[in-house]
Amino acid sequence: MIVVLTGAPGAGKGTQADLLAAREGYRKLSTGDALRKHVKAGTEIGRLAGAVMERGELVSDDLLFRILSEELGTIPTSETVLLDGYPRNLAQAEALDTLKASHPVRAAVLLDVPRSELVSRLSGRRVCGSCGASFHVKEQPPRVEGICDKCSGKLGQRPDDNPGSVAVRLDVFEKTTRPILDYYRNKGVFREVVGTGDPESVYRQLNSAIKGK
Ligand code: ADP
Ligand code: ZN
């Protein structure tokens, strides 16, 4: 089964998906992470996607469906998959539905955060180049500046966390991704959680929303 986690860039989908995976045993599948792996490894997909991602635009639906199918293929169908970053437009939502015999969408949950907070979250975000852990210069600073608490790796900014690309990503969410909310509303699986405030309280609400409570 699939649980779609949606929300604007910076809403905290990745962080919450990691928590849910660790505590509830869900499997996280992040298309952004999968793409960044391809970029790092210098695969053909990575070469096609890298520049588009850096600008904050969407990578092609065909490529994304290839990645989605590839990643889903490595997860037993008995598991519940938290899908972080897919679908991002109506065509992708429809493409996901073509897999519904083996991967039905049980819930689609929006993590809702106001735009002003998203901008400050993304501009202050620092990410570990080795383990991927996320920090924030003000809200969640590492113990030693520039160094990951978890693995002592070097912290840096994601290439798409610059002001120009952040603006593009937020606009893409509003114009292109937001329409999928109605798509899932019409299917009766849509839920909404406020994504601001204490991460633990966001976690509790998200966890209940996924379980349909
Ligand atoms: P964020 O949600 O913080 O913007 P992600 O890590 O989810 O970041 O994605 C980073 C980039 O990867 C996106 O801006 C886009 O270029 C690409 N990407 C990820 N998922 C998709 C998707 N489903 N469709 C198209 N492009 C995608
Ligand atoms: Zn690290």
- Crossing angle of helices 179-186 and 90-97, in 10° steps, is 40
CA 198 to each of CA 47, 71, 202, 205: distance values in angstroms, whole numbers, following the listed order: 38, 31, 6, 11
The per-residue pLDDT for range 149-192, each reduced to its tens digit, is 999 999 999 999 999 999 999 999 999 999 999 999 999 999 99
Rounded to the nearest angstrom, the distance between the alpha carbon of 128 and the centre of ligand 2 is 5
Task: Read off the pLDDT band of 211 (50, 70, 90).
Answer: very high
**C-alpha–C-alpha distance, residues 65 and 103, integer Å:** 14
Is the Cβ–Cβ distance between 127 and 157 less than 8 Å?
yes
Which pLDDT does position 92 carry in this prediction?
98
pTM comes to 0.94
**C-alpha–C-alpha distance, residues 111 and 194, integer Å:** 6
The dihedral through the CA atoms of 177, 182, 186, 188 has a sign that is positive
Kindly state the helix (H) or strand (E) to which residue 127 belongs, with its residue range. Answer: strand 125-128
pLDDT over 80 at 210, yes or no: yes
Rounded to the nearest angstrom, the distance between the alpha carbon of 39 and the centre of ligand 1 is 13
pLDDT over 90 at 212, yes or no: no
Ligand 1 contacts CB of residue 85 (under 6 A): yes
Which pLDDT does position 62 carry in this prediction?
97
Rounded to the nearest angstrom, the distance between the alpha carbon of 120 and the centre of ligand 2 is 22
State the distance between the two ends of the chain, measured CA to CA, in whole angstroms.
Answer: 17
Query: Residue 52, SS3?
Result: helix
Ligand 1 contacts CB of residue 92 (under 6 A): yes
The per-residue pLDDT for range 46-64, each reduced to its tens digit, is 999 999 999 999 999 999 9
The per-residue pLDDT for range 97-144, each reduced to its tens digit, is 999 999 999 999 999 999 999 999 999 999 999 998 899 999 999 999
155-156 sheet: strands from edge to edge: 134-136, 125-128, 155-156
Task: Read off the pLDDT band of 88 (50, 70, 90).
Answer: very high
Query: Residue 87, SS3?
Result: coil
Atom 3 of ligand 1, nearest CA residue: 9
The per-residue pLDDT for range 21-41, each reduced to its tens digit, is 999 999 999 999 999 999 999
Residue reference for tokens 């938290």: 82
- Crossing angle of helices 61-72 and 44-55, in 10° steps, is 120
pLDDT over 90 at 145, yes or no: yes
pLDDT over 80 at 213, yes or no: no
